[in-house]
A and B are shown apart, each in its own frame.
Chain A
Amino acid sequence: MDRETIARVAKVARLNLTEDEMERYAKDLDDILNSFSVLDEAPAGESYSFNPIPVVDVLREDEPAQDLDPQVLRNQMGAYEDYVRGPRLS
């Protein structure tokens, strides 16, 4: 895996990597993906599912409910006067 590719993957994953990390992870991913190329020999299945068992939709009456106190959640996020604080968007 070349430097450009690992840098692109890290950017998508929102990770800053040092030069040393970039080199090390590129080598690791190369080793791992080369080993995983055995998958090319697996038969191409027609069917697959995103879960190993069938999953059903769970529906309920649309009634208002409150499991958790919103103030407790706001405290976890360090809210200021009921506003969640965050960095600039632009």
Chain B
Amino acid sequence: MSAVYDLIRYAQLRHRAFTEVVDRLDDGKFHFSAKDNLCADGFQARAGSAVLDGYRPPFDATPIQKMKEVGGQLVGKTTMDEFGFGTFSTNSAHGVPLNPFDLERSCGGSSGGAGAAACLIPGHIALGVSTGGSISGPASFCGVVGLTPTYGRVSRHGLIDYGNSLDKVGLLARSASLIAKHFRTIAGPDPKDPTSCAQPALPEKGKMPRSLAVPKEALQNLDPAVRSSFHDALARFKDIGVEVREVSMPSLRFALPAYYILATSEASTNLARYCGMRFGRREEELNQHFNDFFTGVRSESFGDEAKRRILLGTFCRMVGFRSRYYLKSLAVRQLLIEDYRTIFRDHDAVVTPTMPFVAPRFEDISRMKPLEMYGADVLTVPPNLTGMPHVSLPCAYVQGLPVGMQLVADHWKELDLLEAALAWEKAFEYRFPEVSP
């Protein structure tokens, strides 16, 4: 077996990055993985949920199909929070991935396995999915680059939905150059996903951002080490000729509640399809009333966080509450888009830390209340809610753990972000853990 295959197995066995891997690598192909909510022929697609145990889709999701068409081999499916419901990948029915830098810490979520695989396997490209920060978060905690494209840039045909107005397929890898190469492969319109058909063509080349805006509201409640590392990173950007200015974006405080209301409202309807008949787990006791059958399968198979989000989303859509929560959140999304656009009149991108802290220990996560966990997404939610492209880059190491920073650009300007990422990589050297399979 090859050294790469040994690393894949190491990532699976020691760090639980994969739910399933291939038996061998094909000659002459590059290796990539897919988050377990992307359908792939030959693999189970369970999206971290017991309700989908045994589901084997007979087709490839469009991004997977496109990667295969240019010579890629799908080598495994990566672990994730159930349906993407989590910030730390601890809400999974199929194993919790362990951080490449410290086995007692989280990889981030919900594309935690993708973050670990991208970090542990040189040259590996991981397809991730982000709804509220599920690419940026793991990229930050695992010390890799994570690109979340504009909403609608990459086809979602074959993606197991979480929130239809929020889900985006993106990439994680050790370098921006690897991501730049494969982003062109997966981007583009696909008639099987109408939301991908309104996009402008990718330009030949991106434009290097020359002016970055830092919203002061995003710098509240940060771990002091993250704050200090971020300011050092801003100084380094200035050293390479990029202007950095502080701005104000008061509407940021509305982003987290608006996101969670929209995301859970959409999830609560999407998950209605899991009824024990069509996909995955099948209830064999058919001599029941339909409602009892349906309710029984869902109650036994969904995890704790999935139930919490279904309940929250169902409540926010109920008669009497819809205007206050759901419709208000749609209006807040529009307000945030307009506020980002106002900043982009004078600046090329917005930059913040990616996460308010470094990868937490599992014992600390187990003591967090749900609201505290949601609060950890405060910096990744605004670009996700508004569909703006963003990239997370390692920008420092604190006690051996990576710190991420996140750049956000206007819709469709992913290549500008990648130009910034490539320039950053010339000024800052990334570190990866020593691995001995």
Do B194 and A68 have beta carbons less than 8 Å apart?
A: no
Does chain A have a CB within 8 A of B177?
no
Give the complex CA separation of A77 and B324 in angstroms: 40
Does chain A have a CB within 8 A of B277?
yes
Do B194 and A57 have beta carbons less than 8 Å apart?
A: yes
Picked from A17, A47, A87, the residue with its CB within 8 Å of the CB of B334 is A47
Q: How far is the CB of A66 from chain B (nearest CB, A)?
A: 12
Do B302 and A15 have beta carbons less than 8 Å apart?
A: yes
Does chain A have a CB within 8 A of B106?
no
Q: Which B residues lie within 8 Å of A16 (CB)?
A: 295-296, 299
Do B330 and A49 have beta carbons less than 8 Å apart?
A: yes
Q: Which B residues lie within 8 Å of A89 (CB)?
A: 290
Do A51 and B151 have beta carbons less than 8 Å apart?
A: yes
Q: Which B residues lie within 8 Å of A36 (CB)?
A: 257, 260-261, 325
Does chain A have a CB within 8 A of B424?
no
Binds A, one of B14-22, B225-233, B305-313, B349-357: B305-313
Q: Which A residues lie within 8 Å of B325 (CB)?
A: 36, 39
Chain B: interface size category: 35 or more
Picked from B279, B314, B333, B335, the residue with its CB within 8 Å of the CB of A76 is B279
Does chain A have a CB within 8 A of B337?
yes
Picked from B257, B295, B314, B369, the residue with its CB within 8 Å of the CB of A38 is B257
Give the complex CA separation of A69 and B59 in angstroms: 10
Do A53 and B150 have beta carbons less than 8 Å apart?
A: yes
Do B332 and A77 have beta carbons less than 8 Å apart?
A: no
B288 and chain A: residue at smallest CB distance: A87
Does chain A have a CB within 8 A of B58?
yes
Do B151 and A39 have beta carbons less than 8 Å apart?
A: no
Do A42 and B311 have beta carbons less than 8 Å apart?
A: no
Do B311 and A76 have beta carbons less than 8 Å apart?
A: no
* Secondary structure call for the A interface: loop
A84 and chain B: residue at smallest CB distance: B277
Q: Which A residues lie within 8 Å of B331 (CB)?
A: 42-48
Give the complex CA separation of A46 and B337 in angstroms: 14
Q: Which B residues lie within 8 Å of A56 (CB)?
A: 194, 197-198
Does chain B have a CB within 8 A of A86?
yes
A60 and chain B: residue at smallest CB distance: B191
Do B58 and A69 have beta carbons less than 8 Å apart?
A: yes
Q: Which B residues lie within 8 Å of A49 (CB)?
A: 330, 334
Contact A88:B386 (CB < 8 A) given known A21-B307, A36-B325, A48-B334: no
Contact A76:B278 (CB < 8 A) given known A25-B311, A48-B327, A57-B194: yes
Do A67 and B59 have beta carbons less than 8 Å apart?
A: yes
Query: Residue-by-residue, is B168-201 near A (CB-CB < 8 Å gives 1, otherwise 0)?
Result: 0000000000000000000000010011011000
Q: How far is the CB of B53 from chain A (nearest CB, A)?
A: 13
B150 and chain A: residue at smallest CB distance: A53
Does chain A have a CB within 8 A of B253?
yes
Give the complex CA separation of A19 and B261 in angstroms: 25
Interface-centre pick from B55, B150, B295 (highest chain A CB count, 10 A): B295
Do A39 and B318 have beta carbons less than 8 Å apart?
A: no
Give the complex CA separation of A62 and B128 in angstroms: 34
Q: Which A residues lie within 8 Å of B311 (CB)?
A: 6, 9-10, 13, 15, 25, 29
Which 8 pairs, one residue from A and one from B, show the smallest C-beta to C-beta distance?
Answer: A52-B387, A45-B331, A36-B257, A87-B293, A48-B330, A16-B299, A13-B314, A58-B194
Known: A31-B370, A58-B197. 15 other contacts (CB 8 A): A9-B315, A32-B312, A36-B325, A39-B258, A43-B335, A52-B151, A54-B198, A68-B59, A72-B58, A76-B279, A77-B282, A78-B282, A86-B290, A88-B287, A88-B290
A-B pairs with beta carbons under 8 Å apart, 23 shown: A6-B311, A9-B314, A9-B315, A13-B310, A13-B314, A15-B299, A17-B299, A31-B371, A35-B371, A36-B325, A38-B253, A39-B257, A43-B335, A48-B334, A52-B333, A53-B195, A69-B58, A72-B58, A77-B282, A78-B282, A86-B290, A87-B292, A89-B290
